[in-house]
Amino acid sequence: MDQGIAAVIAAGTAGAVAVAGSFIGVWVGRRQVRDQAHVEHEQWLRGQRQEAFVDFLAIWDGAVAQLQERTLDDDNIAVLNHTDGWDTENELVAEAIHQDRIPVLRAGERVLMLGPQPVARATTAMLDALEDVAVGIGAQYLDPPPRGTGRYDTYWAAVTAASVRREEFVAEATKLLQTAPDTKRR
């Protein structure tokens, strides 16, 4: 083979390898940037979730405590019976209960947005349980109490269920936060 042809073939091969190497380098570089962006997003999301979960629990606990302060005791019942102020007090407590729940609903929405599904389901269950606690407190302000129930029956059942829902949320959040991130390529 002639040296000139060999030189042309060698130059052509080198050029093809250089072009292929450039394309492979660009592809690998883009993949690396995409992988890095994914890792950074996952780290950011994990931090946002942790903050949202802790905030939600703190706000939820505060709201439950506020709601519990609205339960009636024997002195309140005696005053309401004496003044026949059941209707007025029922309206006032209904508005107060609504206001007590607003921060919890907002914090719950944040958790729902950040997910994932198991935690979102537990959050929804907690929000439903808080609604039941509110209904249980509202039921105390009905005079007379519904037939066949005590003044506090609905409330105590709701508080018990709410405690269980909170434990379920903590379990799901803990499971998520204590699980190492998945390192599989996507």
By CB atoms closer than 10 A (0-12, 13-18, 19+), residue 22 is: exposed
Q: CB count, 10 Å around CB of 100?
A: 22
Q: Which of 136, 19, 152 is nearest to 67 (CA)?
A: 136
Q: Check pLDDT > 70 for residue 148.
A: no
Taking the C-alpha atoms of residue 165 and residue 168, their distance in angstroms, rounded to an integer, is 5
The per-residue pLDDT for range 161-181, each reduced to its tens digit, is 999 999 999 999 999 988 877
Half-sphere exposure of 65 (CA within 13 A, CB side): 6
The per-residue pLDDT for range 109-136, each reduced to its tens digit, is 999 999 899 999 999 999 999 999 999 9
**H/E stretch holding 92:** helix 86-114
SS3 75: helix
What integer pLDDT is reported at residue 184 of this predicted model? 66
For Cα atoms 20, 11, 18, give the angle at the middle one, nearest 5 degrees. 20
Q: Scanning the structure block, which residue is given the tokens 């959040």?
A: 173
Taking the C-alpha atoms of residue 82 and residue 89, their distance in angstroms, rounded to an integer, is 13
Where residue 185 falls among pLDDT bands split at 50, 70, 90? Answer: low
% the chain with pLDDT above 70: 94
Specify the amino acid at residue 125: A
The per-residue pLDDT for range 57-103, each reduced to its tens digit, is 999 999 999 999 988 888 888 888 888 878 888 888 899 999 999 99
Q: What is the DSSP letter of 111?
A: H
